[in-house]
Structure formats: structure tokens, C-alpha cells
Amino acid sequence: MFPYLRYVAQSGFAMLLAAIGITLLAGYAGLLADMPPAWPADVVGVALIFFVSIYTPLRSYLQPADTVFLLPAESGVLSGNLFPALRRSASFSAIRTLVVFVVFAPLYALAPVTADAAPSQPAAWAALAAALALLAGWNTYAAWQERRAVSATARLALRFARWTAVLLAAAALLTKPLLLAAGFALLAAAAVSAAALLTPRHRLPWDRLIAEEGAVRRRWLAFLGWFVDIPTEAPPAASRAWIAWIADRIPRNRRFAWHFLYAKTFLRGEAFGAFWRWCALMAVISLFAHSTAVDAMVYVVGMVVGGLQLTELGRIRFAEHASVVPLSPDGRNMAASAVVRAAGLAAAALLWLVAWAPHAASTPTWWLMALALALGWTGWLLPRRLAARDEDDEL
């Protein structure tokens, strides 16, 4: 992964991140200088603590194998690999939560909504920070117990319980008296932990960890593939009946064979999953921002990054189909670019409506310019670059 990061920096992505960081710092300084009376510091704080706490990555670096032959190695893998990885994950989660809380604390103390709930003594601030760090560290332990569950239904139930406990505990710690909130958070964590202990579990969930490691590796390769041509792994297919039917509307003839194959692969692959989740996140941020500048920035950044995600479609090789499907490679890149164009234009229009709707009464000049840029980026530039790629003779 690391040898490819220099291509990410050379592509201008680092400049984009720097621009976003400068914008966020400017907004942060503006809030400190002039805090709006109705700024929802409680909602923002709970959301920040929740999202930084529930992120519990666990890199096991396990590769697919016959788990029957791996069972004798469970004790060694647990003590030498996974338990140290869990401790590192818990430490990073606690540190990440502390950093976010330290940055948010000045806003938390200044906002009228949370001024009464904010601690008044340094010892109380330290106790609140420690409680949030412990909550984040416990979340890593609870996520490990969740991974060990035998049943997929049990894993989903434990995940929902863990997320609910973190959300309610964070809300209590930031808005209620510290002693009562800490007691409530302890009870919530104990209840979730007890439920996990009562659930049938594997000693070491080999299949779960191997699947997670493969998904993480594919996501990293897909991200790096935006900037440099690298080999990617075949993603698993998802059903997505709610959207996959669109590909079935493509005419069933040889002229549109590549269109159908690319559309079906896109809608049922990981590329579409990442794309629609990114667009949904941008839409949610736009709905709650209530700021023309923020909404416009979110829309532009969302379409730039979303368009880069769509270019992942051009790296699909279909090697397993080439020997059995009598399709000529002619027009293959054109078919991929057509799918990218359709998805990009649809996302640009829908996201623009979500971002523009709260500001419909204002002058639409800047919004129309943003829409034109997004349509040109997703409907012309990206498909044109994708269609201009040299056809690969070896399918």
C-alpha cells in the first residue's frame, strides 16, 4: 500500500484534503469567535463521539485457507496476533476519541445549549475525557465479542445493541451530571457485554476475520486504484434487488451486451455500495448543515470523490467470462463509460436537489454553476477519459 501513496499525493488529492481542512478550521474559528445561540452542540458532540467510538478496525492479515487445518494454531494466533491487535485497536480508539473531544471541548463549553452541562473544574474535565476514552476502549472489546458470535443474526443484534449503548452513553455523558451519566454508561456496557457472553461464540472466528480482512484489502486497493493502475481483487456480488433491476431494462442484444454486463456488475458490486453510501452521507450532511457555503462545498466535494469512485468500473477485466462468452472487445470501454455517465448524472442531479432545496428561495446562480460543473465532470470528462483508454486485448 505505502509505495502507492506518493501517487495519491501527486494526484492533487492531498491538496483537496488540505483545502477541506482549512475550510473546517476557518469554520471552527468562526464558531469560537461568534457562537450562535441555537447551535446544536449537544447533537454535534454526541454524533462526533459516536462515530469515532464505533469505528473498531481489526487488521488480522489472515488469508483464505481451509480452517480445519488452522484450528490447531488458534492459541498461537490469539496470543501472538489478535490480542495485541485488539489492544492496539482499543488504544487507538481511546486516543482518537480523546483528540476529537479535546477539539470539541471549547465549542462544548461555549455553546449555550451545553454550557450548563459542561464541567467547571479541571478535574471534572479530566474525568469526562477519561469516561469517553473508556467508552471507546470498551467498544473495541464489544466489537470483538460481536465478531465471535456464531449466528449472523446474533452479530447484527449485538452490533445494534453496541451502537445503541454507545449513542446513549455518549448523550448521557455530554448532557447529564457526570456521576449519573457514568453509572448509566457502565450499566449499558455491562448489559451488552452480558448479552454477548450468553450468545454462542467461536473461540476464534476464522471465517469472519478472513472475510473482513479481504474487504479491507479490497477497499484500500479500490481507493488507490483511483490514482494509479494496480491489480484489484474480485469483489463478492450483492443481491440489491431494489436497484439491480435497472440493468434488466437494457435491451438484450449483442450491441448492448457489454452495457448489460457492466451495469449488472456495477450495481451488484462493491463499487456501487461505496458510491451510494458516499452520496447518502453527503445528502445527510447537506440536510443538516443549513449553510449555503457548506452545502455547496459538500456538493462539489461529493461529486468529485463520487466521480473518482465511478472510475473503478473501468478496471474490471471479466477474465472468467472471456472464454465462454463470444463477445468482441470492441466498444467495451464505451459501454463502461456509458454506465459511468448514467450513474454520475443521476447522482449529480439527485444530490443537487437535496443540497439546493433548503436554499431554493435564494439566487440560484451559484447553484446552477455547481450543477453545470458536476454534470460536466460526471457526464462528459470522466466518461470521455474512460472511453479513451486503450482496449485490453487480453480479457
Tens digit of each residue's pLDDT (9 = 90 or more) over 277-301: 888 888 887 877 777 777 888 888 8
Tens digit of each residue's pLDDT (9 = 90 or more) over 42-58: 888 898 999 898 888 88
Quick one: 190 and 241 in the same domain? Answer: no
Average pLDDT over residues 81-109: 91
pTM of the model: 0.65
**Residue 161 clears pLDDT 90, i.e. is over it:** yes
State percent of the chain over pLDDT 90.
27
Quick one: 207 and 292 in the same domain? Answer: no
- Report the half-sphere exposure of 54 (CA within 13 A, side-chain side): 18
* Distance from C-alpha of 181 to C-alpha of 9, rounded to nearest angstrom: 44
pLDDT given at position 214: 82
Residue with the bigger pLDDT between 323 and 14: it is: 14
Quick one: 240 and 354 in the same domain? Answer: yes
Joined grid coordinates for residue 145: 465479542
Quick one: 269 and 165 in the same domain? Answer: no
Inside any domain, residue 220: no
pLDDT band at 259 (very low <50, low <70, confident <90, very high): confident
State percent of the chain over pLDDT 70.
86
Q: Tell me how many domains the chain contains.
A: 3
C-alpha distance across the termini of the chain, in Å:
26
Residue with the bigger pLDDT between 339 and 322: it is: 339
Residue with the bigger pLDDT between 208 and 72: it is: 208
pLDDT given at position 4: 67
pLDDT band at 119 (very low <50, low <70, confident <90, very high): confident
Joined grid coordinates for residue 120: 467547571
Q: What is the dihedral of CA 201, 202, 205, 207, to 10 degrees?
A: -100
Three-class SS string for 208-228?
Answer: HHHHHHHHHHHHHHHHHCCCC
- Report the half-sphere exposure of 381 (CA within 13 A, side-chain side): 11
Query: Which amino acid is located at 107 in the chain?
Result: L
Average predicted confidence (pLDDT) for the chain: 83
Inside any domain, residue 209: yes
| Phi, psi for 273 (deg, rounded to 5) | -60, -45
pLDDT band at 112 (very low <50, low <70, confident <90, very high): confident
Inside any domain, residue 175: yes
pLDDT given at position 127: 94
pLDDT given at position 143: 93
**Which of 36-40, 93-97, 351-355, 361-365 shows the lowest mean pLDDT across its residues?**
361-365
Q: Which residues are CB-neighbours of 280 under 8 A, at least 6 positions away?
A: none
Other beta carbons within 10 Å of 371: 20
329: left (phi over 0), alpha (psi -120 to 50) or beta: alpha
Quick one: 187 and 67 in the same domain? Answer: yes
Three-class SS string for the chain?
Answer: CHHHHHHHHHCCHHHHHHHHHHHHHHHHHHHHHCCCCCCCHHHHHHHHHHHHHHCCCCCCCCCCCCHHHHHHHHHHHHHHHHHHHHHHHHHHHHHHHHHHHHHHHHHHHHCCCCCCCCCCCHHHHHHHHHHHHHHHHHHHHHHHHHHHECCHHHHHHHHHHHHHHHHHHHHHHHHCCHHHHHHHHHHHHHHHHHHHHCCCECCCCHHHHHHHHHHHHHHHHHHHCCCCCCCCCCCCCCCCHHHHHHHHHCCCCHHHHHHHHHHHHHHHCHHHHHHHHHHHHHHHHHHHHCCHHHHHHHHHHHHHHHHHHHHHHHHCCCHHHHCCCCCCCCCHHHHHHHHHHHHHHHHHHHHHHHHHHHHCCCCCHHHHHHHHHHHHHHHHHHHHHHHCCCCCCCC
Inside any domain, residue 392: no
Quick one: 283 and 380 in the same domain? Answer: yes
Average pLDDT over residues 203-229: 78
* Distance from C-alpha of 258 to C-alpha of 248, rounded to nearest angstrom: 13
* Distance from C-alpha of 297 to C-alpha of 20, rounded to nearest angstrom: 9
Tens digit of each residue's pLDDT (9 = 90 or more) over 122-135: 899 999 999 999 99
Quick one: 88 and 22 in the same domain? Answer: no
Quick one: 6 and 47 in the same domain? Answer: no
Inside any domain, residue 285: yes
* Distance from C-alpha of 334 to C-alpha of 127, rounded to nearest angstrom: 60
Quick one: 246 and 344 in the same domain? Answer: yes
pLDDT given at position 230: 61
The whole domain housing 378 covers 234-387
Inside any domain, residue 395: no
pLDDT given at position 292: 77
Of 156, 181, 213, which residue is a domain's last? 213
Quick one: 328 and 357 in the same domain? Answer: yes
Of 179, 213, 247, which residue is a domain's last? 213
pLDDT given at position 166: 94
**Which of 177-181, 204-208, 228-232, 238-242 shows the lowest mean pLDDT across its residues?**
228-232
CB 45 within 8 Å of CB 114: yes
Quick one: 197 and 151 in the same domain? Answer: yes
316: left (phi over 0), alpha (psi -120 to 50) or beta: beta
Inside any domain, residue 225: no
Inside any domain, residue 228: no
Quick one: 359 and 307 in the same domain? Answer: yes
Tens digit of each residue's pLDDT (9 = 90 or more) over 146-158: 999 998 899 999 9
pLDDT band at 170 (very low <50, low <70, confident <90, very high): very high
